[in-house]
Amino acid sequence: MKSPRFPDTIKESSKPSNFCPGCGHSIILKNIGQLMADMKIEKKTVFAIDIGCSLLAWDFFDVDTFQTHHGRTTATALGMKRANPDAIILAYMGDGGGYAIGLQNLIHACYRNENITVILANNTMFSMTGGQMAPTTLPGEVTNTTPDGVFTADKPFYGPEMLAREAHEGAYIARAAVSNPGQAYSYMKNAIQNQIDGKGFSFVEILSYCPINWKTDAEGSAKFLEKMKKTFPLGEIKK
Amino acid sequence: MAQVKVKSVLMTGNQVVVKAALTVGAEMFSGYPITPTTEILSEWAKEAEKDKKLIFLQTEDEPAAGFVMVGGVSMGKKAWTATAGVGNVLMQDPLSMAEAMRMPTVTYVGQRGGPSTGTVVYSQQELNLTRMGGNGEGMRIVYAPSNLQELYDLTIKAFNSAWKYRFPAFILSDGYLAKSYGEVNLWPLKKSDIVPTESAFLNPKKQPNNIRNCFSQEPELYNHLLEDFADFASISEKVAEAEVIGDKNSHILVCAWGVVANSAKTAVDELERQGISVKLFRPITMRPFPVKELQKAAEGVTDILITESANGQFGRIVRETLYGLLEAEIHRLYKPAMGVMPEEIQSKIREVMR
Ligand SMILES: Cc1ncc(C[n+]2csc(CCOP(=O)(O)OP(=O)(O)O)c2C)c(N)n1
Ligand code: SF4
């Protein structure tokens, strides 16, 4: 998103990364690394990740990292923050982890205005397990469990909008996309700053590529992301 | 504890547990209400209201409570939780992570009658679940108090063992004990007798720590497990505890645990008064199990009576421990989700003797 150079927060061993070529996770992670370096918070931060393709980042950064269970990153992360309010806790997960199995924990973290930052990669699928339907799957989208686009809901799940309804004064909620790097960088920065300022829950959903399960080439991925952007509007939803 | 000044107080089982946790330096509690351990939440909330250093969170469900606890432990807090029955089932998700990552957690379990939501007073049906957990090998330390005083003593031990050996620890109680009311000696603990905590993260003297519970190569996990098994085996003799009472030379051995062992004690005493000699084996740790102690107690015995408020969960451990060692006849008094009264044990023993 910002600089083409790899920040020092990323381990030498993480290049090349474990992610598939063209994966949105590597773009997001690289920029989280850049942010931690730019904000000089790498020594104060614990990075908590889910099970899903995000798990591949368990030793991606030269930063304390806790890989938890599928869907349980939010609860673990807020436990860390409550135990040590001076720490900066960054939780990272997929849309399955955040909106399916872990939604209960996510909503309640928002509702209680827990002072943590959650970054969620929305690629409309459960990617790690081979591309099954997620709550974010678009109407008629073909996935591993929606052959020919059957069994999809007639509208996808709007996570940030839903959270914004329960969010407190001071919470920060936004949606960005890997294809709009400057915006994604600044939303994530706002979210982390929100936590540093002690204002409470912050959340950024990032529309992300999964060329493997989308079965797309570079052009096809870009096209699909544009389609996602039409469904999921980008912007700051609560600040 | 003869030297220290003790404070005798009348209180309920749940209150005793909270006092013990505070004595041993617990700092953080997260939980979800369920009978019979709900008072742990309300008592801790009261304490946390008085002492702002104590952390309290009522979560949206048991997994959240457990993962909040593990998150707190990872940051160096002495965190714990309490649950029961179906809540204990849900709690196994975070506890399996604690087990995999060698996070020292403490979980107080007030067993309920099961399966499912069942009943809330008598039960010893969460023995398998608590000892062995879900998809793991039961790398856990489980204490089983049989009366109010032991609730205090063993809660303190559970915290210290968890942080000393870095395995999840449990106090496996039940609804009857949780709601009992009586006198307890709240003996104080020297600061040096409290095992300290350490944060896994943000340690300025150490390299960043990357921890995980998902492995890409089979041998990575296998080698991890072998290390854990070796550690567990090496602490087992130090941690395992049992009590044997009654006539050591008796040919009749009663095996019971928890509050049922308390009934059995009364039965053994009463029979002794009537001139009938019986001995009782009662494990204090359900895991690691006091294998040697049971094998010794069973030497030369002709009849064994196993009694429990479950349908043989404990009985299977006893029989496995003694397998091939003796030819004693096994008798059963199994009452799943029911209390076992001293009179019932006495008459069962009389029956055995006939
Ligand atoms: C309790 C549990 N259920 C199911 C799984 C299997 N599983 C692993 S990853 C995953 C879905 C991941 O999808 P998502 O969270 O969207 O992340 P992505 O891989 O798309 O980045 C599932 C269902 C699991 N690990 N744990
Ligand atoms: S499967 Fe998809 S989300 Fe996972 S690493 Fe590959 S491209 Fe990325």
Residues above pLDDT 70, as percent of chain B: 99
Cβ distance of A69 and B71 shorter than 8 Å: no
Q: Which CATH class is domain A25-238?
A: alpha beta
pLDDT by residue (tens digit) across B132-183?
Answer: 998 999 999 999 999 999 999 999 999 999 999 999 999 999 999 999 999 9
Q: Are the CB atoms for B229 and B116 separated by under 8 Å?
A: no
Q: Supply the pLDDT for residue A12.
A: 87
Rounded distance between C-alpha atoms, residue B210 and residue A48, angstroms: 10
Residues of B in contact with A55 (CB under 8 A): 212, 214
Least confident of A1-5, B82-86, B158-162: A1-5
Q: Supply the pLDDT for residue A3.
A: 46
CA neighbor of B16 nearest in space, from B135, B123, B156: B156
Q: Supply the pLDDT for residue B75.
A: 98
Write the CA distances from B254 to B12, B90, B342, B349, B352, integer angstroms.
28, 33, 12, 9, 11
Q: Whose CA is closest to atom 4 on ligand 2?
A: A53
Strands B252-255 and B303-308: parallel
Task: State the burial class of residue A4 (Cβ atoms within 10 Å of its Cβ: 0-12, 13-18, 19+).
Answer: exposed
* Shortest-distance ligand to the CA of residue A23: 2
Which runs of E-coded beta strand occur in B46-113? 55-58, 79-83, 106-111
Confirm or reject contact between A55 and chain B (CB < 8 A): yes
Q: Supply the pLDDT for residue A15.
A: 81
Confirm or reject contact between B71 and chain A (CB < 8 A): yes
Place of tokens 């009452």: B335
Q: Are the CB atoms for B194 and B160 separated by under 8 Å?
A: yes
Q: Are the CB atoms for B310 and B165 separated by under 8 Å?
A: no
Which of 171-230 (B) contact A at CB < 8 A? 199-202, 204, 208-214
Q: Are the CB atoms for B30 and B40 separated by under 8 Å?
A: no
CB atoms near residue A94 (< 10 Å): 32
Q: Supply the pLDDT for residue B1.
A: 44
pLDDT by residue (tens digit) across B232-260?
Answer: 999 999 999 999 999 999 999 999 999 99
Show Cβ contacts of residue A12 under 8 Å, excluding neighbours closer than 6 positions: none
Write the CA distances from A18 to A22, A54, A57, A219, integer angstroms.
11, 10, 8, 22
Interface test with A, best of B67, B77, B101, B103 (most A CBs within 10 A): B67
Q: Supply the pLDDT for residue B2.
A: 47
Q: Supply the pLDDT for residue A17.
A: 81
Please give the average per-residue pLDDT across B328-343, as a whole number: 97
Closest partner residue to B211 among A63, A66, A83, by Cβ? A66
**Ordered alpha helix ranges (H), A39-99:** 73-83, 95
Rounded to the nearest 10°, the torsion over CA A93, A99, A102, A108 is 110
Report phi then psi at B46, rounded to 5: -65, -45
Asked if the ipTM is above 0.90, the reply is: yes
Show Cβ contacts of residue B158 under 8 Å, excluding neighbours closer than 6 positions: B106, B141, B143, B169, B170, B171
- Residues in contact with ligand 1 (CB, 6 Å cut-off): A 51-54, 70, 93-97, 121, 123, 125-129, 134
Percentages helix, strand, coil for chain B (3-state, rounded to 5) are: 45, 20, 35
Q: Measure CA B150 to chain center.
A: 11
CA neighbor of B23 nearest in space, from B198, B193, B241: B193
Q: Are the CB atoms for B65 and B41 separated by under 8 Å?
A: no
Rounded distance between C-alpha atoms, residue B169 and residue A158, angstroms: 41
Rounded distance between C-alpha atoms, residue A77 and residue A82, angstroms: 9
Comparison of pLDDT for A17 and A225, the residue scoring more:
A225
Index of the ligand 2 atom closest to the CA of residue A26: 8
Show Cβ contacts of residue A3 under 8 Å, excluding neighbours closer than 6 positions: A34
pLDDT by residue (tens digit) across A81-105?
Answer: 999 999 999 999 999 999 999 999 9
pLDDT by residue (tens digit) across A173-203?
Answer: 999 999 999 999 999 999 999 999 999 999 9
- Please say if the pLDDT value at position A228 is more than 80: yes
Instruction: Provide the residue ranges of all domains of chain A, joining segments of one domain with +.
Output: 25-238
Q: Whose CA is closest to atom 8 on ligand 2?
A: A23
Rounded distance between C-alpha atoms, residue B11 and residue A22, angstroms: 63
Strands A88-94 and A117-122: parallel
pLDDT by residue (tens digit) across A121-139?
Answer: 999 999 999 999 999 999 9
pLDDT by residue (tens digit) across B182-195?
Answer: 999 999 999 999 99
Show Cβ contacts of residue B218 under 8 Å, excluding neighbours closer than 6 positions: none
- Does this model's pTM top 0.95? yes
pLDDT band at B4 (very low <50, low <70, confident <90, very high): low
Domains defined along chain B, listed by start: 7-239 (3.40.50.970), 243-353 (3.40.50.920)
Query: B29 has which bridge partners?
Result: B56, B80
CA neighbor of B238 nearest in space, from B156, B133, B161: B161
Interface test with A, best of B212, B215, B216, B220 (most A CBs within 10 A): B212
Q: Supply the pLDDT for residue B8.
A: 87
